[in-house]
Amino acid sequence: MCQIRLEKIQKRFGDNPILADIDLTVEEGEFCVFIGPSGCGKSTLLRLIAGLDDPSAGDIHIDGVRVNELAPAKRDVAMVFQSYALYPHMTVYDNMAFGLRHLKLAKDEIDRRVRAAADSLHLAALLDRKPGALSGGQRQRVAIGRAIVRQPKVFLFDEPLSNLDASLRVKTRVEIARLHRALGKASMVYVTHDQVEAMTLADKIVLLKPLAGQHGVPSIAQVGHPLELYHQPRNRFVAGFIGSPSMNFIDATVLNANEAGLACSAGGVPLTAAADAAGLARDSTVTLGIRPEHVSVGSGRLVGRISHLEHLGEHSYAYLETPLSATPLVVKLSERQATIGDTLPFSLPAQRLHVFDGAGDALPRLAHQDLTPAATAAI
Amino acid sequence: MKRLEWTDIAYWLAVPPVLGFALFPFVYAVSSSFKLGNALFSSDFWPRVWSAANYAAVFAEQPFGQNLLNSVLVAGGVVLASLGVSLLAAYALGRVSFRGRGVLMMTILGVSMFPQVAILSGLFELVSALGLYDSLWALVLSDLIFTLPFTVWVLVTFMRELPKELEEAALMDGAGVLTVIFRIFLPLLWPAVAATSLLAFIAAWNEFLFALTFTLSSEQRTVPVAIALISGASSYELPWGNIMAASVIVTLPLIALVLVFQRHIVSGLTAGAVKG
């Protein structure tokens, strides 16, 4: 059963469109992540669901009830804010109990819920402290605790990890994933700009695109399982946004195109791609895309000169100057076998190449072997 | 040892004149209040014979205890009324955006620009029409005219600084507007509230013109008026000793208040609300 249903949501500030044409469902127990570059309206969309902002048009349903006119507290949702927004003059206990007292719950029920949440979040020893005496990670856990005690149908997270340092972020990410499993039926909607968070946490990623003042363009670039967005990006924006370092893009001219494949030429080098290219005219321009980790390095008929190296420990990224395009081709090296100035043979496997037409839309790929069964089922 | 900088020297040279200028009138009042009879007109700074007779006389010759109580009631009432009104107004003006907000803020400020004398006769009509003449309520009402613009402006400024997420978190928790103002914001605004209440209290405590105009009987007077109307045995004699004693008595509560509140006026209470 679906927990949240958004229908034709629009949001404008003045005449400036922020969100357009959003149709989306979040199922019961699903972990849905809103991601996108800054200014895409992902936090605004979360605030619309929370009831802190009103949509300019469209309907929001939570658990089958239209909630457009309902106050935030009546929607059975709980929100964790980016800045935590703890009440600084109240103890940790009172911070968590504050919302429950407004629900007119019995005192011992409030106490039971607060202590249970505090135990599960390792806050039991801190209940009498004020937020000012807590570390960033502890404050974050109090903010999560304040949401848990309400036992809502939907949890909303607004970039909850962005104020934590890197190691704490990974730890808290794991805790949130564990929390989601433990809560079972509650859905979670999570806003982030960090694609590692999105890839690791999400059952469903909603990638939003900034409208930048344009009218008549939908906000959602693609919705799907993380691996679906990774392997089957619907357009160039999605392909470039998902994956780090991002996908290499190479402009090419069509030599021959049909439903079995594409032959094209980039910088005078002939290339083939396994995509359904039926309908592409000869001599038209396409963009090829390949991820750094998918370039086959060490052998091949192409050669590039290493202009820059980034060592990340277990692997490195090399920036190759190639005849294919003016921008360097980023490739992943599994061992630290190269130095700057070396030449490196490589090839671009046809099954790994993504093809985008002149409008930036992806052509259907012929090889699906990268997809996991779960992702295939999701398509 | 730290070398003495010229700024240190300048600082310590500047301290005595400033202290002397600020404290001399009060010290002189204290000293005079303990002098008796003709000693008041001698050139001694400290009295040769210390006597509390003036203090006893102040309470004996007029209902000064009642006057003090009146002042406490008026000043306290003004503080409570201005805080109640200005907290609500500050929430509306500081955190709700509506058309004409700027104009409204300026109007509120404009009210405080009129000299008291200019509005005195109009206000007198109002007070009479409300049947408040010769009542402490008349003073509470009229004192609000100059305390409210100030308290509203200060609280609006502080209210704007509070993080928006705090209010939204409270909304998500099911709190209404009044809960947000009094349970969430008020504790955080405490330093600002303490400072503005103190200043409003002092203003109302010292207010003279309205208190003189709107009261008639000596039982309804507040202390500034009572002191001004202290008279001697004949119209040619001003009982300076009594006046000085009364002045010291009305100043002491203010000094006590400032000392108590300055310990409470600590900023940084909002630390921990948001990461910072």
Do B28 and B162 share a structural domain?
no
List phi, psi (to 5°) of A14.
Answer: 65, -125
B53 in a structural domain: no
Shortest CA gap B164–chain A (Å): 9
List phi, psi (to 5°) of B87.
Answer: -65, -45
B146 in a structural domain: yes
Which CATH number does the domain housing residue A193 bear? 3.40.50.300
Q: How far is CA A113 from the centre of its chain?
A: 32
Predicted pLDDT of residue B276: 36
Do A152 and A72 share a structural domain?
yes
Question: Among partner residues A83, A89, A150, which is closest to B275 by beta-carbon distance?
Answer: A83
| Residue ranges making up the domain that contains A324 | 296-347
CB contact under 8 A, B172 and A72: yes
Is A378's pLDDT higher than 60?
A: no
Residues in CB range of B153: below 8 A, 6 or more apart: B105, B108, B109
Do A172 and A194 share a structural domain?
yes
Q: Which residues of A249-281 are buried (b: 16+ CB within 10 A; e: fewer)?
A: bbebebeebeeebbbbebeebebbbbbbbeebe
B270 in a structural domain: no
The size of chain B, in residues, is 276
Do B63 and B33 share a structural domain?
no
Do A140 and A28 share a structural domain?
yes
B230 in a structural domain: yes
Taking a C-beta distance cutoff of 8 angstroms, is the pair B249, B58 a contact? yes
What residue of A is the nearest CA neighbor of B184? A87
Do A355 and A343 share a structural domain?
no
Whole-angstrom distance, CA of residue B160 vs CA of residue B97: 11
B274 in a structural domain: no
Do B235 and B129 share a structural domain?
yes
Residues in chain B whose Cβ is within 8 Å of chain A: 163, 165-166, 168-175, 179, 184, 187-188, 269-275
Do A52 and A188 share a structural domain?
yes
> Given the DSSP bridges, would you call strands A154-158 and A187-192 parallel, antiparallel or unpaired?
parallel
How many domains, in total, are found in chain A?
Answer: 3
Q: How far is CA A125 from the centre of its chain?
A: 35
Do B245 and B141 share a structural domain?
yes
Q: What is the 3-state secondary structure (H, E, C) of A148-208?
A: HCCCCCEEEEECCCCCCCHHHHHHHHHHHHHHHHHHCCCEEEEEECCHHHHHHHCCEEEEE
Q: How far is CA A370 from the centre of its chain?
A: 19
| Residue ranges making up the domain that contains B36 | 6-41
**Contact map slice: A 36-65 vs B, CB within 8 A:** 50, 52
Do B167 and B30 share a structural domain?
no
Predicted pLDDT of residue A368: 54
Do B153 and B221 share a structural domain?
yes
Residues of A with Cβ-Cβ distance to B169 under 8 angstroms: 79, 81, 85-87, 146
Residue A77's pLDDT band, with cuts at 50, 70 and 90, is: very high
| Assigned token pair, A50 | 């929370």
Do B254 and B160 share a structural domain?
yes
Find the radius of gyration of the CA atoms of chain A: 24
Q: Which residue's structure tokens are 């109990």?
A: A97
Whole-angstrom distance, CA of residue A344 vs CA of residue A299: 8
Taking a C-beta distance cutoff of 8 angstroms, is the pair A202, A226 a contact? yes
pLDDT in tens, A132-181: 999 988 999 999 999 999 999 999 999 999 888 888 889 889 989 998 99
Is A46's pLDDT higher than 50?
A: yes
CB contact under 8 A, B188 and A134: no
β-bridge mates for residue A345, sequence order: A303
Residues of A with Cβ-Cβ distance to B170 under 8 angstroms: 87, 98
Residues of B with Cβ-Cβ distance to A103 under 8 angstroms: 174
Interface test with A, best of B95, B164, B172 (most A CBs within 10 A): B172
Closest CA to A318 of A305, A304, A308: A308
Whole-angstrom distance, CA of residue B201 vs CA of residue B108: 19
Predicted pLDDT of residue A130: 93
In order, the DSSP letters of A16-80 are EEEEEEEEEEEETT-EEEEE-STTS-HHHHHHHHHTSS--SEEEEEETTEE-TTS-GGGGTEEEE
| Assigned token pair, B22 | 């600020």
Residues of B with Cβ-Cβ distance to A191 under 8 angstroms: none
Whole-angstrom distance, CA of residue B38 vs CA of residue B27: 19
Do B131 and B19 share a structural domain?
no
CB contact under 8 A, A72 and B273: no
Do B32 and B124 share a structural domain?
no
Do A311 and A375 share a structural domain?
no
CB contact under 8 A, A73 and B173: yes
Q: State in Å, rounded, how far the first CA of chain A is from the last one.
A: 19
Is A375's pLDDT higher than 50?
A: no
Interface test with A, best of B97, B173, B185 (most A CBs within 10 A): B173
Residues in CB range of B169: below 8 A, 6 or more apart: A79, A81, A85, A86, A87, A146
Environment class of A295 (CB within 10 Å of its CB; exposed 0-12, middle 13-18, buried 19+): buried
Which CATH number does the domain housing residue A275 bear? 2.40.50.100
B252 in a structural domain: yes
pLDDT in tens, A227-260: 999 999 999 999 999 988 999 999 999 999 888 8
Shortest CA gap A156–chain B (Å): 11
pLDDT in tens, A270-310: 999 999 888 888 899 999 999 999 999 888 889 999 999 99
CB contact under 8 A, B275 and A84: yes
List phi, psi (to 5°) of A300.
Answer: 135, 170
The helix (H) or strand (E) run that includes residue B82 is helix B64-95
Whole-angstrom distance, CA of residue A219 vs CA of residue A39: 11
What residue of A is the nearest CA neighbor of B190? A89
Do A212 and A341 share a structural domain?
no
What residue of A is the nearest CA neighbor of B173? A99
Q: What residue type is assigned to position A182 of the chain? A: A
B130 in a structural domain: yes
Do A356 and A338 share a structural domain?
no
How many domains, in total, are found in chain B?
Answer: 2
Block mean pLDDT (10 aa), chain B, length 276: 80 93 90 83 80 87 90 95 94 90 90 85 92 91 90 90 91 90 90 86 92 89 89 75 90 86 55 39
| Assigned token pair, B145 | 């005219």
CB contact under 8 A, A131 and B173: no
Do A121 and A81 share a structural domain?
yes
Do B141 and B19 share a structural domain?
no
β-bridge mates for residue A35, sequence order: A192, A207
Which CATH number does the domain housing residue A317 bear? 2.40.50
Do A207 and A339 share a structural domain?
no
Peptide bond into B25 cis (omega under 30): no
The DSSP 8-state label assigned to residue B267 in this structure reads S
Residue A376's pLDDT band, with cuts at 50, 70 and 90, is: very low
B121 in a structural domain: yes
Do A285 and A177 share a structural domain?
no
Do B130 and B246 share a structural domain?
yes
Which CATH number does the domain housing residue B171 bear? 1.10.3720.10
> For residue A55, how many other CB atoms are within 10 A of its CB?
21
Do A280 and A233 share a structural domain?
no
